[in-house]
Amino acid sequence: MREPIISDQDFIRRLSEEERKHAGFISTKEIFPLVCEHAALLESGIKPVGAIPTGFIKLDKALIGLKKADLIVVGAEPCVGKTAFVLSLAENMAHKGMKVGIFSLDTLREKIMQRLIAIRTSIPLWRIVTGRLNKGDMKRIEQCAESFKKLPLYIDDETDLDVLELRSRATELRDKDGLDFLIVDCFQFIRSFDNEPHNLNRVACGLKMIAVELNISIVITLNMERKQSDHHFPNFHDIRQWSLDRYADVVLMLRQSNQFEVDGSIRPIDIFVLKNKNGPTGMVELGFDYELASFIDAVESKK
């Protein structure tokens, strides 16, 4: 029997009814000094509390780091490197002490672990996957094993999650081990709580509510349709059908650069900042090492 249709208001209420607490009204007298202090920190070059560095110099300069309670969209056509990009973010942040959770809805956790090992050890991913490892490779893997044991990085590879289940698991992780940064790969695979697989407008709204309620940054990957023209520039029309232009605080679109490979296995990827509530929009270039399936600063890739 089909479940009754639930209004958007009821949807938001169900997402927040268990934990969401209202702080009530706060006077501008109390808020003003906090804003001034934040601006002074930025002016002096000090990273303000709450800004989460991505590990990429140019991207951090554009975004001033990622913010708590923000929903960040990372979209791209197939095979451009969405998963590689968000795993590079996760690895960077976890090694800086940030507590990171990953919902991998289309990839087994063992395969995610293989990618993280490739990023950390600089061993080509294909050699890790196929087991074509030499003694030097095995030594490097053994050396990084201890760091992975201490790494505050958690992976959930359940393939059938709705928004409420995702929220429940994220809350449990936050309460048990702490949580600063959450990755959801990939957005289109999440069900709305009313079991409508294609009701992604509510999923987008729900993810934003979870980010605010848990006070964490949430990054979601988004599969885009492949365009016929190589000169297509990403725009808001590409994401409007899911209401992500409304709910996202930051929208990043990845596109292969028209340039040739920079250095061996490294190719340039253009990252378009289409929306940024905290700063300017524009374009940042990073290097994608397709042998390691990881991203690096473009400055490094041109050495």
Predicted confidence (pLDDT) per residue in 11-66, tens digit: 555 555 444 444 566 777 777 777 777 667 666 655 555 578 888 988 988 887 78
| CA dihedral of residues 190, 149, 71, 268 (deg, nearest 10) | -100
Share of the chain above pLDDT 70, in %: 77
Q: Which two tokens stand for residue 96?
A: 């800086």
CA nearest to 181, candidates 100, 105, 112, 104? 100
The pLDDT score that the predictor gives to residue 37 is 74
The structure tokens 């709450």 sit at 50
- Give the phi and the psi of residue 122 in degrees, each rounded to 5: 60, 25
* Residue spans per domain, the chain: 51-301
H or E segment to which residue 219 belongs:
strand 217-223
The pLDDT score that the predictor gives to residue 16 is 52
Res 276 pLDDT > 60: yes
User: Is residue 95 classed exposed, middle or buried when 0-12, 13-18 and 19+ CB atoms within 10 A define those classes?
Assistant: middle
pTM of the model: 0.81
pLDDT band at 148 (very low <50, low <70, confident <90, very high): confident
User: Is residue 134 classed exposed, middle or buried when 0-12, 13-18 and 19+ CB atoms within 10 A define those classes?
Assistant: exposed
Q: Which two tokens stand for residue 292?
A: 């390691």
The pLDDT score that the predictor gives to residue 19 is 44
Question: Cis link prior to 144 (omega < 30° from 0)?
Answer: no
Q: What class has domain 51-301?
A: alpha beta
pLDDT band at 263 (very low <50, low <70, confident <90, very high): low
Res 243 pLDDT > 90: no
Predicted confidence (pLDDT) per residue in 83-104, tens digit: 999 999 999 999 888 999 999 9
Predicted confidence (pLDDT) per residue in 167-222, tens digit: 999 999 999 999 999 999 988 888 776 555 457 788 888 999 999 999 999 999 99
Residue 213 near residue 16 (C-beta atoms within 8 A):
yes
Res 272 pLDDT > 70: yes
Alpha carbon distance 22, 32 (integer Å): 20
> In sequence order, what DSSP letters do the residues of 112-135 get, joined into one string?
HHHHHHHHHH---HHHHHHT---H
The pLDDT score that the predictor gives to residue 5 is 46
Residue 289 near residue 262 (C-beta atoms within 8 A):
no
Q: Per mean pLDDT, which range of 49-58, 147-156, 245-254 is the poorest?
A: 49-58
Res 126 pLDDT > 90: yes
